[in-house]
């Protein structure tokens, strides 16, 4: 089979994090891209040999493109997905699918009308240990899921940001960007159909006025409950609980969060901060190409502990530690030779083998609904009941 030919919209942070995947996985080939930064377009042609187009529309219209990978800022996803679908292109779109349920629905319906596929990712719910945990749960050996406990303490709010990323109305803050990972993982493990969300959000830094933290309780139609916390103001780093392995599957310095804050303090204004972010992305002057060696651990999204009726499953960067009446044992995950190869696995299964996506449009709309419910529960100070949930695909 020939590689899947991708056209890329947006060569920024999301794309940058996917470069090792696109470089290393021979099942995909980047054939076109658009980004407003001329340097990024030039670097794209030089690195991947594809065509740097001068507009998003041109990428979508390019007959060489089979799938469009939408990696533009959150608020642009809807227009770009709709454009791609109208050109008959299948779409891989970064999480979150969109910023409103209406936009999600429009994207889903447009793709269905056009007969094009829609996959939402990368997100950390693609990670091999998450998928392994799903299989272990599905085996029935430990009974039904009763409680999922997830936490993640990061330096999220102090990484360099564009101003819109610090404005919730424009999709900024952790409810959109980070809950999209954590809630997708939790939904995959707890059955998918969230019944209610009770949450509190934190806006603890007036200089960066968006939600940097949340803590939440979710109930599921099957009776499971989940407890989820994200703290993007973390001085503490929960990667300490993940064998010192960072989100990207590589060893992380215990001092990393302090360094992130110190770097940001050296930046004087919004424009300089946005430029710093841009320069660290693909095609920028501070861009560091991916390391040649493959990580020896999987990517992850912090500690997740699944309590079933007859055992507890703890996700690690290399697999799942199982605690049950026999004691404890380790179920290793297959660490992908290429980072995030799990995304290409799903892309290939859908694009070349005719399978239904795990991270499809309706699934991902339901995750967006949970993310929005985090904000709404905190605002309204009450439980939010959900209406767009679907079960996890078999």
- Say whether the peptide bond before residue 122 is cis (omega within 30 degrees of 0): yes
Tokens representing 348 are 């290939």
Residue 22 or 220 having the CB closest to a second copy: 220
> By rule CB under 8 A, what string of x and - marks binding of each residue 144-163 to a second copy?
--xx-x-x-x----------
Instruction: Decide: is 331 part of the binding site for a second copy (CB under 8 A).
Output: no
Q: Which of 3, 263, 279, 323 binds a second copy (CB under 8 A)?
A: 323
Instruction: Decide: is 311 part of the binding site for a second copy (CB under 8 A).
Output: yes
- Stretch of 12-20, 49-57, 311-319, 350-358 contacting a second copy, by CB under 8 A: 311-319
> By rule CB under 8 A, what string of x and - marks binding of each residue 187-206 to a second copy?
-----------xxx-x-x--
Instruction: Pick the closest to residue 312 from 29, 88, 304 (CA basis).
Output: 304
CB contact set of 309 (below 8 Å; sequence gap of 6+): 142, 143, 144, 146
d(CA 128, CA 26): 19
Instruction: Decide: is 266 part of the binding site for a second copy (CB under 8 A).
Output: no
* 120 phi and psi angles, rounded to 5 deg: -110, 115
Q: Which residue has the tokens 């005719």?
A: 354
Q: Which of 26, 268, 381, 394 binds a second copy (CB under 8 A)?
A: 381
Instruction: Decide: is 317 part of the binding site for a second copy (CB under 8 A).
Output: no
Instruction: Decide: is 325 part of the binding site for a second copy (CB under 8 A).
Output: yes
What angle, rounded to 10 degrees, do the helices at 101-114 and 77-86 form?
10
d(CA 256, CA 234): 11
d(CA 201, CA 186): 18
Instruction: Decide: is 208 part of the binding site for a second copy (CB under 8 A).
Output: no
Instruction: Decide: is 383 part of the binding site for a second copy (CB under 8 A).
Output: yes
Q: Which of 79, 279, 312, 376 binds a second copy (CB under 8 A)?
A: 312
* DSSP structure class, residue 125: G
Q: How far is the CB of 123 from a second copy (least distance, A)?
A: 23
User: Given the rule CB under 8 A, which residues bind a second copy?
Assistant: 146-147, 149, 151, 153, 198-200, 202, 204, 213, 215-217, 219, 225, 227, 229, 231, 233-237, 241, 254-255, 257-258, 261-262, 305, 307, 309-312, 314, 323-328, 381-383
């Amino acid at each position: 089979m020939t590689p899947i030919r991708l056209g890329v919209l947006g060569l920024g942070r999301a794309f940058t994090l996917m470069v090792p995947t696109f470089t290393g996985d021979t099942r995909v080939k980047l054939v076109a891209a658009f980004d407003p930064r001329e340097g990024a377009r030039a670097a794209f042609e030089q690195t991947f040999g594809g065509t740097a187009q001068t507009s998003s529309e041109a990428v979508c219209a390019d007959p060489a493109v089979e799938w469009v990978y939408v990696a533009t800022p959150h608020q642009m996803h809807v227009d770009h997905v709709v454009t791609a679908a109208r050109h008959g292109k299948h779409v891989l779109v970064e999480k979150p699918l969109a910023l409103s349920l209406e936009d999600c629905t429009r994207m889903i319906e447009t793709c269905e009308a056009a007969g094009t596929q829609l996959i939402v990712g990368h997100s950390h719910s693609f990670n091999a240990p998450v998928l392994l945990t799903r299989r272990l749960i599905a085996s029935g050996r430990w009974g039904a899921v009763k409680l999922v406990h997830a936490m993640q303490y990061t330096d999220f709010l102090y990484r360099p940001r564009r101003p819109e990323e610090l404005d919730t109305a424009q999709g900024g803050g952790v409810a959109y960007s980070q809950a999209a990972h954590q809630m997708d993982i939790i939904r995959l493990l707890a059955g998918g159909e969230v019944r209610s969300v009770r949450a509190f959000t934190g806006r603890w830094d007036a200089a960066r006025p968006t939600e940097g933290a949340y803590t939440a309780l979710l109930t599921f139609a099957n009776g499971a409950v989940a407890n989820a916390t994200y703290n993007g103001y973390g001085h503490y780093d929960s990667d300490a609980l993940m064998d010192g392995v960072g989100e990207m599957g590589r060893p992380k310095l215990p001092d990393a969060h302090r360094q992130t804050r110190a770097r940001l303090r050296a930046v004087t204004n919004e424009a300089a901060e946005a430029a710093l972010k841009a320069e660290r992305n693909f095609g920028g002057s501070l861009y560091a190409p991916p390391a040649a060696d493959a990580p020896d651990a999987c990517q992850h999204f912090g500690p997740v502990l699944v309590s079933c009726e007859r055992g507890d499953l703890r996700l690690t960067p290399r697999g799942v530690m199982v605690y049950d009446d026999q004691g404890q044992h380790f179920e290793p995950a297959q660490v992908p030779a290429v980072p995030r190869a799990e995304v290409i696995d799903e892309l290939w299964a859908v694009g070349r083998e005719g399978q239904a996506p795990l991270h499809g449009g309706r699934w991902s709309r339901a995750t967006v609904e949970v993310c929005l419910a985090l904000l709404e529960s905190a605002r309204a100070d009450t439980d939010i009941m959900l209406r767009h949930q679907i079960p996890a695909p078999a």
